[in-house]
Amino acid sequence: MLSFSILGALQIRTALGPAEISGDLQRTLIQTLLVNEGQSISGESLVEEMWGEAVPDNQANALQAHISRLRRKLRSLEPDRTTSRVTIHPSGYRLTINESELDAAEFTKTVRLAEVATADDPAATARLLGGALAMWRGPVFGDFPGGTLCQLACARYEEYRMRAMELRFDAELRLGHHAAMLAELHDAHTNHPLRERFCEQLMIALYRSGRQADALNVYRRMWQHLSDELGIEPSPALRRVENAILSHDPALAGDTPAPIILQPA
Protein backbone atom coordinates (compact mmCIF):
# COMPACT_ATOMS: atom_id res chain seq x y z
CA MET A 1 0.00 0.00 0.00
CA LEU A 2 1.27 3.46 -0.87
CA SER A 3 0.64 6.78 0.82
CA PHE A 4 1.10 10.14 -0.84
CA SER A 5 1.93 13.39 0.94
CA ILE A 6 1.63 16.74 -0.82
CA LEU A 7 1.17 19.08 2.17
CA GLY A 8 4.82 19.95 1.75
CA ALA A 9 7.24 18.56 -0.81
CA LEU A 10 5.89 15.50 -2.64
CA GLN A 11 6.50 12.32 -0.66
CA ILE A 12 5.58 8.74 -1.47
CA ARG A 13 5.83 6.17 1.27
CA THR A 14 5.91 2.42 0.73
CA ALA A 15 6.05 -0.52 3.09
CA LEU A 16 9.83 -0.45 2.68
CA GLY A 17 10.29 3.29 3.13
CA PRO A 18 10.15 6.48 1.06
CA ALA A 19 10.27 6.47 -2.74
CA GLU A 20 11.36 9.17 -5.17
CA ILE A 21 9.83 10.33 -8.44
CA SER A 22 12.64 11.54 -10.66
CA GLY A 23 12.32 14.14 -13.39
CA ASP A 24 10.30 17.36 -13.45
CA LEU A 25 7.79 16.04 -16.00
CA GLN A 26 7.13 12.89 -13.99
CA ARG A 27 6.68 14.92 -10.83
CA THR A 28 4.29 17.30 -12.58
CA LEU A 29 2.35 14.34 -13.95
CA ILE A 30 1.84 12.58 -10.64
CA GLN A 31 1.14 15.81 -8.78
CA THR A 32 -1.56 16.74 -11.29
CA LEU A 33 -3.14 13.31 -11.01
CA LEU A 34 -2.98 13.49 -7.21
CA VAL A 35 -4.75 16.85 -6.88
CA ASN A 36 -7.65 15.46 -8.91
CA GLU A 37 -8.17 13.05 -5.99
CA GLY A 38 -9.24 10.02 -7.99
CA GLN A 39 -11.14 11.91 -10.68
CA SER A 40 -10.26 11.73 -14.37
CA ILE A 41 -8.35 14.49 -16.12
CA SER A 42 -8.11 14.91 -19.89
CA GLY A 43 -4.95 14.25 -21.81
CA GLU A 44 -5.06 17.82 -23.15
CA SER A 45 -5.05 19.21 -19.61
CA LEU A 46 -2.13 16.98 -18.65
CA VAL A 47 -0.15 18.07 -21.70
CA GLU A 48 -0.73 21.73 -20.91
CA GLU A 49 0.20 21.22 -17.28
CA MET A 50 3.39 19.33 -18.10
CA TRP A 51 4.73 21.31 -21.05
CA GLY A 52 2.92 24.63 -21.03
CA GLU A 53 3.59 26.41 -24.30
CA ALA A 54 6.56 24.14 -25.14
CA VAL A 55 4.34 21.28 -26.32
CA PRO A 56 6.29 18.49 -28.09
CA ASP A 57 5.53 17.73 -31.73
CA ASN A 58 3.86 14.40 -31.02
CA GLN A 59 2.18 15.30 -27.76
CA ALA A 60 -0.01 12.19 -27.58
CA ASN A 61 2.97 9.86 -27.82
CA ALA A 62 5.01 11.98 -25.43
CA LEU A 63 2.23 11.92 -22.84
CA GLN A 64 1.67 8.20 -23.26
CA ALA A 65 5.38 7.57 -22.75
CA HIS A 66 5.28 9.42 -19.45
CA ILE A 67 2.07 7.66 -18.39
CA SER A 68 3.71 4.29 -19.09
CA ARG A 69 6.82 5.30 -17.16
CA LEU A 70 4.73 6.36 -14.16
CA ARG A 71 2.76 3.12 -14.29
CA ARG A 72 6.00 1.10 -14.21
CA LYS A 73 7.32 3.15 -11.31
CA LEU A 74 4.17 2.73 -9.21
CA ARG A 75 3.96 -0.96 -10.07
CA SER A 76 7.52 -1.44 -8.84
CA LEU A 77 6.52 0.13 -5.52
CA GLU A 78 3.51 -2.19 -5.13
CA PRO A 79 4.56 -5.53 -6.65
CA ASP A 80 1.59 -7.32 -5.05
CA ARG A 81 -1.00 -5.00 -6.58
CA THR A 82 -2.93 -6.73 -9.36
CA THR A 83 -4.21 -3.65 -11.20
CA SER A 84 -2.49 -0.47 -12.31
CA ARG A 85 -3.15 2.68 -10.32
CA VAL A 86 -3.08 4.82 -13.46
CA THR A 87 -5.96 4.02 -15.80
CA ILE A 88 -7.44 5.58 -18.92
CA HIS A 89 -11.13 6.38 -19.32
CA PRO A 90 -13.25 8.16 -21.94
CA SER A 91 -12.85 11.34 -19.89
CA GLY A 92 -9.09 10.99 -19.54
CA TYR A 93 -6.53 9.57 -17.10
CA ARG A 94 -7.12 8.70 -13.47
CA LEU A 95 -4.90 7.80 -10.54
CA THR A 96 -6.73 5.38 -8.27
CA ILE A 97 -6.27 6.54 -4.73
CA ASN A 98 -8.18 6.18 -1.49
CA GLU A 99 -8.90 9.20 0.67
CA SER A 100 -6.73 7.76 3.44
CA GLU A 101 -3.78 7.43 1.05
CA LEU A 102 -3.53 11.17 0.31
CA ASP A 103 -2.79 13.56 3.17
CA ALA A 104 -4.52 16.51 1.47
CA ALA A 105 -7.77 14.55 1.03
CA GLU A 106 -7.66 13.38 4.63
CA PHE A 107 -6.98 16.94 5.78
CA THR A 108 -9.87 18.53 3.86
CA LYS A 109 -12.21 15.80 5.12
CA THR A 110 -11.24 16.64 8.70
CA VAL A 111 -11.86 20.36 8.15
CA ARG A 112 -15.29 19.65 6.66
CA LEU A 113 -16.14 17.50 9.68
CA ALA A 114 -15.04 20.29 12.02
CA GLU A 115 -17.20 22.77 10.10
CA VAL A 116 -20.37 20.86 10.95
CA ALA A 117 -19.35 19.70 14.43
CA THR A 118 -21.37 21.00 17.36
CA ALA A 119 -19.80 23.48 19.78
CA ASP A 120 -20.45 21.17 22.74
CA ASP A 121 -16.93 19.70 22.79
CA PRO A 122 -14.38 22.37 21.86
CA ALA A 123 -11.55 20.29 23.34
CA ALA A 124 -12.23 17.49 20.85
CA THR A 125 -12.43 20.00 17.99
CA ALA A 126 -9.14 21.60 19.04
CA ARG A 127 -7.42 18.20 19.21
CA LEU A 128 -8.88 17.10 15.88
CA LEU A 129 -7.77 20.23 14.04
CA GLY A 130 -4.44 20.40 15.83
CA GLY A 131 -3.65 16.92 14.55
CA ALA A 132 -4.81 17.81 11.06
CA LEU A 133 -2.72 21.00 10.92
CA ALA A 134 0.32 19.02 12.08
CA MET A 135 0.15 17.16 8.73
CA TRP A 136 1.48 20.26 6.98
CA ARG A 137 5.23 20.19 6.39
CA GLY A 138 5.40 23.38 4.33
CA PRO A 139 3.79 24.82 1.17
CA VAL A 140 1.88 22.33 -0.99
CA PHE A 141 4.45 20.56 -3.23
CA GLY A 142 7.26 22.48 -1.53
CA ASP A 143 9.47 24.31 -4.02
CA PHE A 144 7.89 22.57 -7.04
CA PRO A 145 4.34 23.94 -7.37
CA GLY A 146 3.86 22.74 -10.96
CA GLY A 147 1.57 24.29 -13.54
CA THR A 148 -1.73 26.13 -13.38
CA LEU A 149 -3.88 23.20 -12.22
CA CYS A 150 -1.50 22.32 -9.42
CA GLN A 151 -1.20 25.95 -8.36
CA LEU A 152 -4.98 26.27 -8.20
CA ALA A 153 -5.08 23.14 -6.06
CA CYS A 154 -2.39 24.63 -3.82
CA ALA A 155 -4.57 27.69 -3.29
CA ARG A 156 -7.59 25.49 -2.51
CA TYR A 157 -5.73 23.44 0.09
CA GLU A 158 -4.23 26.61 1.59
CA GLU A 159 -7.74 28.00 2.03
CA TYR A 160 -8.70 24.84 3.90
CA ARG A 161 -5.63 25.32 6.10
CA MET A 162 -6.69 28.87 6.93
CA ARG A 163 -10.19 27.68 7.80
CA ALA A 164 -8.78 24.92 10.00
CA MET A 165 -6.71 27.50 11.86
CA GLU A 166 -9.76 29.71 12.36
CA LEU A 167 -11.85 26.83 13.68
CA ARG A 168 -9.09 25.66 16.00
CA PHE A 169 -8.59 29.17 17.38
CA ASP A 170 -12.36 29.41 17.97
CA ALA A 171 -12.26 26.15 19.91
CA GLU A 172 -9.25 27.23 21.95
CA LEU A 173 -10.92 30.55 22.79
CA ARG A 174 -14.01 28.68 23.96
CA LEU A 175 -11.74 26.69 26.27
CA GLY A 176 -10.31 29.90 27.74
CA HIS A 177 -6.86 29.37 26.24
CA HIS A 178 -6.56 32.97 25.06
CA ALA A 179 -3.16 33.59 26.67
CA ALA A 180 -1.69 30.38 25.27
CA MET A 181 -2.93 31.26 21.78
CA LEU A 182 -1.59 34.82 21.65
CA ALA A 183 1.69 34.01 19.90
CA GLU A 184 0.03 31.79 17.29
CA LEU A 185 -2.73 34.33 16.68
CA HIS A 186 -0.20 37.12 16.30
CA ASP A 187 1.73 35.07 13.74
CA ALA A 188 -1.45 34.16 11.85
CA HIS A 189 -2.57 37.81 11.73
CA THR A 190 0.89 39.03 10.69
CA ASN A 191 1.27 36.41 7.96
CA HIS A 192 -2.27 36.96 6.63
CA PRO A 193 -2.92 40.65 7.27
CA LEU A 194 -6.05 40.86 5.11
CA ARG A 195 -7.81 37.90 6.77
CA GLU A 196 -10.18 39.61 9.17
CA ARG A 197 -11.07 36.51 11.17
CA PHE A 198 -7.54 36.21 12.51
CA CYS A 199 -7.71 39.88 13.48
CA GLU A 200 -10.99 39.34 15.34
CA GLN A 201 -9.58 36.37 17.21
CA LEU A 202 -6.36 38.17 18.12
CA MET A 203 -8.34 41.16 19.42
CA ILE A 204 -10.48 38.88 21.58
CA ALA A 205 -7.44 37.04 22.96
CA LEU A 206 -5.71 40.34 23.79
CA TYR A 207 -8.82 41.74 25.47
CA ARG A 208 -9.28 38.63 27.57
CA SER A 209 -5.60 38.86 28.56
CA GLY A 210 -6.18 42.35 29.99
CA ARG A 211 -4.71 44.16 27.01
CA GLN A 212 -7.63 46.26 25.80
CA ALA A 213 -5.43 49.02 24.36
CA ASP A 214 -3.40 46.51 22.35
CA ALA A 215 -6.59 44.92 21.04
CA LEU A 216 -7.88 48.28 19.83
CA ASN A 217 -4.52 49.12 18.27
CA VAL A 218 -4.70 45.88 16.30
CA TYR A 219 -8.11 46.96 15.02
CA ARG A 220 -6.88 50.44 14.02
CA ARG A 221 -3.91 49.00 12.14
CA MET A 222 -6.21 46.54 10.39
CA TRP A 223 -8.59 49.36 9.44
CA GLN A 224 -5.69 51.34 7.99
CA HIS A 225 -4.34 48.33 6.14
CA LEU A 226 -7.70 47.54 4.55
CA SER A 227 -8.12 51.15 3.56
CA ASP A 228 -4.63 51.45 2.06
CA GLU A 229 -4.53 48.08 0.30
CA LEU A 230 -8.12 47.56 -0.82
CA GLY A 231 -9.90 50.87 -0.28
CA ILE A 232 -12.49 49.24 1.97
CA GLU A 233 -13.59 49.43 5.60
CA PRO A 234 -13.58 46.57 8.12
CA SER A 235 -16.43 44.09 7.87
CA PRO A 236 -19.46 44.33 10.16
CA ALA A 237 -18.16 41.29 12.09
CA LEU A 238 -14.84 42.98 12.82
CA ARG A 239 -16.55 46.24 13.78
CA ARG A 240 -18.80 44.33 16.18
CA VAL A 241 -15.75 42.98 17.97
CA GLU A 242 -14.32 46.49 18.29
CA ASN A 243 -17.62 47.79 19.68
CA ALA A 244 -17.82 44.86 22.11
CA ILE A 245 -14.34 45.70 23.41
CA LEU A 246 -15.15 49.38 23.76
CA SER A 247 -18.35 48.60 25.69
CA HIS A 248 -16.81 45.76 27.73
CA ASP A 249 -19.49 43.44 26.42
CA PRO A 250 -19.89 40.44 28.79
CA ALA A 251 -20.04 38.23 25.70
CA LEU A 252 -16.25 38.67 25.45
CA ALA A 253 -15.64 37.05 28.83
CA GLY A 254 -13.32 34.08 28.63
CA ASP A 255 -15.88 31.64 29.99
CA THR A 256 -18.70 32.74 27.70
CA PRO A 257 -18.85 31.13 24.22
CA ALA A 258 -20.74 34.07 22.75
CA PRO A 259 -22.06 34.25 19.18
CA ILE A 260 -20.03 37.41 18.56
CA ILE A 261 -16.91 35.30 18.86
CA LEU A 262 -17.91 32.10 17.21
CA GLN A 263 -20.08 33.02 14.26
CA PRO A 264 -18.59 31.82 10.94
CA ALA A 265 -16.57 34.30 8.94
For residue 10, the one-letter residue type is L
The secondary element (H helix, E strand) that includes residue 208 is helix 196-208
Of 3, 83, 101, 34, whose CA–CA distance to 46 is shortest? 34
Q: Please report the pLDDT score of residue 254 as a whole number.
A: 60
Asked whether 57 and 10 are in contact (CB, 8 A), the reply is: no
pLDDT tens digits for range 50-67: 999 888 889 999 999 999
Domains of the chain: 3-100 (1.10.10.10), 104-262 (1.25.40.10)
pLDDT tens digits for range 16-54: 899 999 999 999 999 999 999 999 999 999 999 999 988
* Beta bridge pairs of residue 93: 41, 88
Give the orientation angle of helix 236-246 with respect to helix 212-230, to 10 degrees. 150
pLDDT above 70: residue 144:
yes
- Report the pLDDT averaged over residues 77-90: 92
pLDDT above 80: residue 115:
yes
pTM here is: 0.90
Confidence of residue 255 (pLDDT cuts 50, 70, 90): low
